[in-house]
Structure 1
Amino acid sequence: MIPAQRKKFNQQLTAEKYKSFLDQLQDGYPEIPFRVAETPVFIPKALKEKLIAAGEEIIKLIKQPNFKDLTTDAIPTDWNVPNEGGQPHFLTFDFGICKNDAGELTPMLIEMQGFPSLYGFQPHLGKTFASHFDIDPSLNYFLNGFNEEQYIQLLKEVIIGKHQPHEVALMDLDAPNQKTAIDFFVTQKLLGIKILALEDIKKIGRQLFYEENGKQIQLKRIYNRLIFDEVANDTAIFKTSFDPREELDIEWVTHPNWFYRISKYTMPFLDSEFVPETRFLNQIDSIPPDLENYVLKPLFSFAGMGVIIDVTEQDINAIQDPENWILQQKVNYEPAVQSPTGGVKAEIRMMYLWPDGGEPQLCTNLARLSRGKMIGVRYNANFDWVGGTVAFMEE
């Protein structure tokens, strides 16, 4: 998107150099099971400013005094966890890169989450790109004036808080074998916290413990990476571990309820040039005649599961729970990243940290490249110049 930087990078890139970059990225870690793209994305200042402005509009909504009232119904009754905090600790906003009516590149909101993503891996990825390729130092994968040292310090403040690293654990279902496990290992290296599978944690009274060298160590804070959808059909696992829905003496980073509050559910409440028209399906008076310009999404799903891209009236009429679906105007991605074999579509995730007692701070980003119908691994199999990456933005 910055022509001079794109040309410069493409001239450097060879199959051998890409392989060497991947080897360096994985050095000391298990093999990365998802595809890392051949290139970063180069974001011009004008587009960066739009991305920042779009994020600020969303945060303004989240900070409204009535936000919790607006999103009460976002939390499934069966998954409402007690002792919810007053704020999320993580905000991630995904924007497709499009063209507006004036022919300018502009972001359009695709997804939003009050849930952590690759906060350890993304700076590691950016640093590896910068060390392996000749990237102009006036471009940065950090934002808002952050550098690596300041970012790690804020990450510690948010995740560890007032506790010791051994009292804090990153938790997921079968954590070491998750697809994003490299992020877990990078985070552990940065912060010194434990990585625990759900079944590694045991409940005694209201307290949670894990075992190390034959000793029971109390957990004070959980860096939660577990999405309840993954255990919804097999809650028996809680019987040998703990049930998050019980009253517990534990701090959540971030509290599980925020996964639902800040999600597709929030999008109908936003009115912005950077947000496609989005309505709850049960609040639509009539089906739009131009359904080819809309996409149908379930509220309670992740990783693009259940999305209907080519919507028909039959699809809409077949929905049994329209209150749990949104109808959203399609976003037309602009193939703005020039590969050696043509344009590639891009999505940028703006990543914020929100410390206790502080304000949300934009720190870094994630980017994804796509040639398929949707962004995501299952839609981009067997393509090159697709996958996860990071954006370097003009200062």
Structure 2
Amino acid sequence: MKLTVVGGGSTYTPELVDGFARLRDTLPIEELVLVDPAADRLELVGGLARRIFARQGHPGRIVTTGDLDRGVEGADAVLLQLRVGGQAARERDETWPLECGCVGQETTGAGGLAKALRTVPVVLDIAERVRRTNPDAWIIDFTNPVGIVTRALLGAGHKAVGLCNVAIGLQRKFAAHLGVAPAEVHLDHVGLNHLTWETGVRLGGPAGEDVLPKLLADHGELIAADLRLPRPVLDRLGVVPSYYLRYYYAHDEVVRELGAKPSRAAEVAAMERELLEMYADPALDEKPALLARRGGAFYSEAAVDLAASLLGDGGSPYQVVNTRNGGTLPFLPADAVIEVQAAVGPDGAAPLPVPTVDPLYAGLMANVTAYEDLALDAALRGGRDRVFRALLSHPLIGQYAYAEALTDRLLAHNREHLAWA
């Protein structure tokens, strides 16, 4: 089995490689190819990756290359984890929206739109090159904004599934609270990427006992603190929202917080410099503890599980993924991309049935889906008016004066990445 990681020079990659090494019985990789145009970073990351495989006795071969076509040739699956514009673009995405009193975040709001505009054309070009080289390869998208990027891939006819680590992170935390193995916890997870709610927590599988009420009663304070939401909010909702919902439920508070401290991008950039220095040490043969602060917790386990299911029968039968809605959520278009539990196998991801969704969540999901429609249209066809329409439609913006000012700033900060600007 050959698996290719595009964006393999990311400081995330050792987390992924560690999972491939530990879970080799689930996903028996014979060749792992790391593709990245940043040769210096790729050399450091590739060296550590080989040492991790060697330490854990993995027999697979690790290849590094800056040649995308060579890297994806013959791959059974291609995992995308790229960042167009690097951390510098991310820092801009997190700062200029604050000038207009709006959330500055890399996947949500105006910053998320900027990232989508930069990213969608690049991902579609990569996917076309994968299809020319190996049309049977699965594309696993971990590149944000995952929902919009996955929708672009599916709309262009690619074999693609989107992946996010929010659900697996909550699964692990809930399992620890309940004192059970993570595999015993099945989430009734519903929404869009970075806009999800856990409406049930079941033991043993989709038909298992729902222990969410007990979980909230016994551990509500810890869960609320982790989400940085007041405990009474969780009690009144009766569900567990993802931490991204704080941008919606506490928008003004978040804007004040973000404006009073260095950006997350600046923190990550400093962390990456330190990590790369560590990766250069030839004695290092395991992922460093610092990597846990970089983000992407349990990403490797989720990626292994998904790839194993798509390529054979080694993964879990049910997984939270980003895939086409079809008729799963009848209040959304069939071609919308939703994030739900799905049965995953060699034929792809089939969403499990979802009970009727509370209008409190359904309304916001419909609004953000409409924004994603307009965002994808702007990413595919360009144009200032399309950018403005997408921004105006976003529930975190929604005022024409904000949308005008944000459009001006988005274009000013991203012209080098937008062929039409």
- Tell me whether the two structures share a fold, i.e. TM-score over 0.5: no
Give the number of the structure whose residues are more often helix, by fraction.
2
Give the number of the structure whose residues are more often strand, by fraction.
1
Alignment TM-score, normalising by the size of structure 2: 0.27
